[in-house]
Amino acid sequence: MTEGQALWLLFAALYLLECLAWLPGGMWLLTGPAGGWRLRRVVRSLELRGRRLALISLLPQARLVLSRWRLIPSTEGLVARLDDAPPEVIPWAELAPLAEDALLRLSGRADIVCEDSGAARSWQSRLERWREMDQETRAADFLLHARNSLDTAAVERAAQSLARQTRTLRRMGVLLLAWCFGVISGAYRWLGEGPEVLWLAGGMVLMLWAQAATFWRVARGADSKVRHRFWKTLAIAFLPQHAMRAPDEIGSPLRAHPLAARSLLAESEWLRLCREFWKEARHSAAPGSALEARALEEFFSAQDVPLKELEPVPDRHPGAAAWCPRCMAQFQIKDALCMDCGGLELRAFDSGDRND
């Protein structure tokens, strides 16, 4: 391997590292607008101190972090949920919320990582209020929070605003990517280590400085405060991988639920997500699920989505008499329970539950 090839590999590896982000579990990433907005769940397998690894996207994009409801009040206590882990219930008497940067301490033994320090602080004050309320008032406050986080127009506005703010940074990011891995690599291959390659590399340095100047200006006027703006600008001015991924540093102060991205997603994709969220909340005996289902039901009704559409009847296997509405497994006997889903009652095929 020549020195040039080794350098190319190093740059490629550094760039790929920049495409990864550590985000709190239970978060979703909305990226776009190039190639259409896409919503992705944070990868579940790798976890480090409450954060999970997420691949943002290979091309520089605008990105919005969305979150499912992870803190829900119940009679027994506060229900704290992280992705698929069984929810933890913290009795109200033990609840002692305290925000430390993005970390929100809930009690002596439980904590949860929020989107940022602002989110952690606002949760601290909400939880302090919940602690003093009765369950009925708490549930009403949760439903209000749920309604606010499901504002589809707000998500559309935030995504468009973010796309507008990052437009120049994204274009320059793509240009730098093409310049570094296409133009310079091609010239090196065909012309060898000559003055041409040095000129091209010099051109890239100028582009880095232009990107740094744009970033300094955009970060100052961004909707969401950019922390360590000076140091980030410095990194962009000298390190190509940081310059290419500069749009990632511009975020949004919006806190919303993934289903609120309706107008930005394909309708079929959005409905698939609705079914997933509905199934999980509706057919779960876990604490907090009933209240989550109530909030979702209210949202679907406002969005004109009949619940029947979210509970499809599967194609019947030969000999099957019933199916489990949660895991969709089919059974030959009607009067049984799905043990995989914690003893959930089955639905019979001939019970008149069919959609058609």
DSSP letter at 125?
H
Amino acid at 117: S
Handedness of CA 317, 319, 321, 326 (dihedral sign): negative
- Interface residue with Zn ion among 41, 126, 326, 347 (CB under 5 A) is 326
- Interface residue with Zn ion among 260, 324, 346, 349 (CB under 5 A) is 324
172 contacts Zn ion (rule: CB under 5 A): no
- Interface residue with Zn ion among 23, 341, 346, 349 (CB under 5 A) is 341
- Total number of residues shown for the chain: 356
Question: If binding means CB under 5 A, how many residues of this protein chain bind Zn ion?
Answer: 6
Name which of 213 and 337 has its Cβ closer to Zn ion: 337
Name which of 72 and 338 has its Cβ closer to Zn ion: 338
- In the complex, least distance from residue 339 CB atom to Zn ion, rounded to whole angstroms: 8
- In the complex, least distance from residue 273 CB atom to Zn ion, rounded to whole angstroms: 20
327 contacts Zn ion (rule: CB under 5 A): yes
Provide the b/e sequence for 160-198 (b: ≥16 CB within 10 Å). Answer: ebbbebbebbbebbbbbbebbbeebbebbeeeeeeeebe
Distance between alpha carbon 88 and the CA centroid of its chain, in Å?
Answer: 21
Name which of 167 and 279 has its Cβ closer to Zn ion: 279
> Angle at the Cα of 23 (from 22 to 24), degrees rounded to 5?
135
CA dihedral in degrees (176, 181, 183, 186; nearest 10)?
170
Please report, as residue ranges, which positions from 244 to 263 form the binding site for Zn ion (by CB under 5 A): none
- Interface residue with Zn ion among 340, 345, 350, 351 (CB under 5 A) is 340
CA separation for the pair 47, 116 (Å, rounded): 18
Matching residue, tokens 């991988």 = 241
Residues 6+ positions from 61 with CB-CB distance below 8 Å: 31, 32, 33, 34, 170, 247
DSSP letter at 43?
P
- Single out the segment in contact with Zn ion by CB under 5 A; choices: 121-129, 166-174, 225-233, 316-324: 316-324
- The 3-state DSSP class for residue 312 equals coil
- Single out the segment in contact with Zn ion by CB under 5 A; choices: 2-10, 98-106, 154-162, 335-343: 335-343
Name which of 223 and 345 has its Cβ closer to Zn ion: 345
Name which of 34 and 313 has its Cβ closer to Zn ion: 313
- In the complex, least distance from residue 320 CB atom to Zn ion, rounded to whole angstroms: 13
The closest of 31, 85, 25, 21 to 53, measured between CA atoms, is 21
Name which of 183 and 336 has its Cβ closer to Zn ion: 336
Rg (CA), the chain: 24
- In the complex, least distance from residue 331 CB atom to Zn ion, rounded to whole angstroms: 9
338 contacts Zn ion (rule: CB under 5 A): yes
285 contacts Zn ion (rule: CB under 5 A): no
322 contacts Zn ion (rule: CB under 5 A): no
- Footprint on this chain of Zn ion (rule: CB under 5 A): 324, 326-327, 338, 340-341
